[in-house]
Amino acid sequence: MVRTLSGIQPTGNLHIGNYLGALVNWVRLQREYESYFFLADLHALTQRPPAGQLRSAVRELAIGVLASGVDPDKSTLFVQSHVPQHAELCWVLTCLTPLGDLNRMTQFKDKSAQQPDNINAGLFTYPILQTADIALYRPECVPVGEDQDQHLELARETLRRFNFVYGDTFPEPKTAKSHAPRVMGVDGDSKMSKSKGNEIGLFETADETWQKLRGAKTDPARLRRADPGNPDICNIYSYHGFFSPPETCAEVAAGCRSAALGCVDCKKMLAVNMEAVKGPIRERAAALRAAPKRLDEILAAGAEKARRTAEETMTLVRERIGIRGEANA
């Protein structure tokens, strides 16, 4: 099977934006590819999270990934820091990456603006670690969103440079456009994010979800129940597209345009369909929390397989760059 690789940061409680934007895609990918999925805790260090918070976030993320349908018998799921070759290859590639290439990365400016009191070197060299993440597993396919295009081009340039200096070692990573949707927050103004407080948590109960949906932004033209609306600009209708069957979406669209369906009724229909998806995920997550040993076993097995694959790559890299000695023999 063709190999693919993808990662996600443990930066907070999972929300439906994470689910729709990454986890649904991972479940699909595992049916079509030899899939390596990792929890990017080394990347999360750029935000300087407290140690206990990071450990908890990693476990909750692993639970969410598995509860959402990623099957450890079909995929390799592991924690990035459990595979030390990520950091080792990152340093090798750092020594090959011109400062000018990193200066052109626009995401450094964006990330620095998000945390102006913690503009650390990790934010600047972040794309090199991403390159190492990819190169270690030599995937034929790397699904990325548009915001990662620049980083993937840097990865290709860095690996071409390695091949030029040390001999043909790495295949050029090919990218597949991710069709992950851009999920807006309940405020309707920006992308769903826990830091912005506009999220709907993946593990929230039906009542908690409803409380957020009740106050969620809808079509601003519908000031009264009798006002016709435009579902194409309604954030709640976009959620229907993710969670409701096609016949419900058609009913909602027609009811919105004719004012036959009020916004509250529309939200109630959404809440039912959203809970039909979230409820089973929440139940599977609860079962995993009740069996911490099983979670440890899954992550340990994934890390062991990932280390074997990564070490094959690093053995070749060490030979090429001239640091292979008795300790690595």
Are 257 and 229 in contact, with CB atoms under 8 Å apart?
A: yes
Q: Spell out the SS3 assignment of the chain.
A: CCEEEEEECCCCCCEHHHHHHHHHHHHHHHHHCEEEEEECHHHHHHHCCCHHHHHHHHHHHHHHHHHCCCCCCCEEEEEHHHCCHHHHHHHHHHCCCCHHHHHCCHHHHHHHHHCCCCCCHHHHHHHHHHHHHHHHHCCCEEEECHHHHHHHHHHHHHHHHHHHHHCCCCCCCCEEECCCCCCECCCCCCECCHHHCCCCECCCCHHHHHHHHHCCCCCCCCCCCCCCCCHHHCHHHHHHHHHCCHHHHHHHHHHHHHCCCCHHHHHHHHHHHHHHHHHHHHHHHHHHHCCHHHHHHHHHHHHHHHHHHHHHHHHHHHHHHCCCCHHHC
Catalytic residue among 194, 212, 217, 305: 194
**Residue 212: what residue type?**
K
Count of C-beta atoms within a 10 Å radius of residue 110: 11
User: Annotated catalytic residue: which of 109, 177, 191, 268?
Assistant: 191
d(CA 131, CA 139): 12
The distance of Cα 313 from the centroid of its chain, to the nearest Å, equals 24
194 is catalytic: yes
Angle at 108 between CA 103 and CA 109, to 5 degrees: 100
Could you list the active site residues? Answer: 111, 191, 194
